[in-house]
Amino acid sequence: MRKQDILEQANAEGIELTQSTLDRYIKYGFLKGEKKDAGYKQIPITTYPEAMTIIQYVDHLKQMPHIKYENIIFVLFGAGLPIDIDKLRNLMIRQRQTVMNQFQEIADHISDIEQARFIANDLAKTEMKSVRKPGRPSEQIKNKEAEWSEKFKLMLLFIKDMVQKNTLSERNALDWIKSFPQHIPVDASEIKEIILKHINYSDWMQQSRYLETENYIHIQEIMTLAKKYYAGMEGPEASKIKESVEKINESLGYDFLWENPTLIYLILFVLLASGKYQLIKTILSNPENLDLWKGGDVYA
């Protein structure tokens, strides 16, 4: 669709969309223009594929307080929509640099393990402030505070290693992961393999910075396939997982898996950095693997 067609269609559907807002969507990469030849000595016509699907979805996402305006592009990417990959790549680079600047600041303030422990204690107290009652804290609160303090200490040491040594310490990384057993399966072979190889963070940065558009498209296809696998999960364990996700979605008021720009960003970054996206896509694209997954053998 051309710009004018988009504006007219949006107006017909009751969506408030001005020329300046549409231009902003294009600026942020929500829409990807394609130039078409208009004939001899004519100015090429720019059209925007799946424009109304994107406009409708953006109109929905703008109502969600947890999504920053510029991060809408991650959700659109995760939905398999044709966004401007160059804009997505540039945003990822900016955000990674912001995170690394914050990590650098943390690392600069941690001279040794005792200082990490001191900062972690403060963080733990802040974390528990909402559940602490006035007066002497109970043993349960004390234990919980100590647990959070240990987790924060490990996290701080993990960040310090990553920034100052430009590598992930196997000991600190594994200890930190083990401190969250309810969230991350420590025995997962892929996690162990990554840690044991001492990932060089700057290599991750460089890899994802210079990858071609095609690589991002591969990952977008992986996300689309992942939705099919999720939808196809069957059996008691699958039901429990889906019920848990539904409860999370209800409490948050949005789809935690696919309307969560931070999660999509992390998936995108890890897959790009791993370099295994083509292999993963090949595996997931195999109809036999999807049939096996649906058959429930994955839970055997």
Q: How far apart are CA 146 and CA 148, in angstroms?
A: 5
Burial of 48: CB neighbours in 10 Å, binned 0-12, 13-18, 19+: buried
Render pLDDT for 74-107 as a digit per residue (tens, 0 to 9): 999 999 999 999 999 888 877 776 666 655 666 6
Q: What is the pLDDT of residue 186?
A: 40
Render pLDDT for 281-297 as a digit per residue (tens, 0 to 9): 888 888 888 887 776 54
Q: List, in sequence order, every residue forming a beta bridge with 46; answer none if it has no partner.
A: 35
Paired tokens of 41: 């000595």
Q: What is the pLDDT of residue 221?
A: 92
Phi, psi for 191 (deg, rounded to 5):
-65, -45
pTM: 0.66
User: What are the structural domains of the chain?
Assistant: 3-84 (1.10.1660), 109-195 (no CATH), 211-299 (no CATH)
Q: List, in sequence order, every residue forming a beta bridge with 35; answer none if it has no partner.
A: 46
Can you give the pLDDT of all 300 residues of the chain as single tens digits? Answer: 999 999 999 999 999 999 999 999 999 999 999 988 767 767 788 999 999 999 999 999 998 887 888 899 999 999 999 999 999 988 887 777 666 665 566 666 666 666 666 666 666 666 555 555 566 767 776 777 677 666 666 666 666 665 555 444 444 444 544 444 344 334 444 444 444 443 445 555 555 555 678 888 888 999 999 888 888 877 777 788 888 888 888 877 888 888 888 888 878 877 777 777 888 888 888 888 888 777 654 444
CB 254 within 8 A of CB 264: no
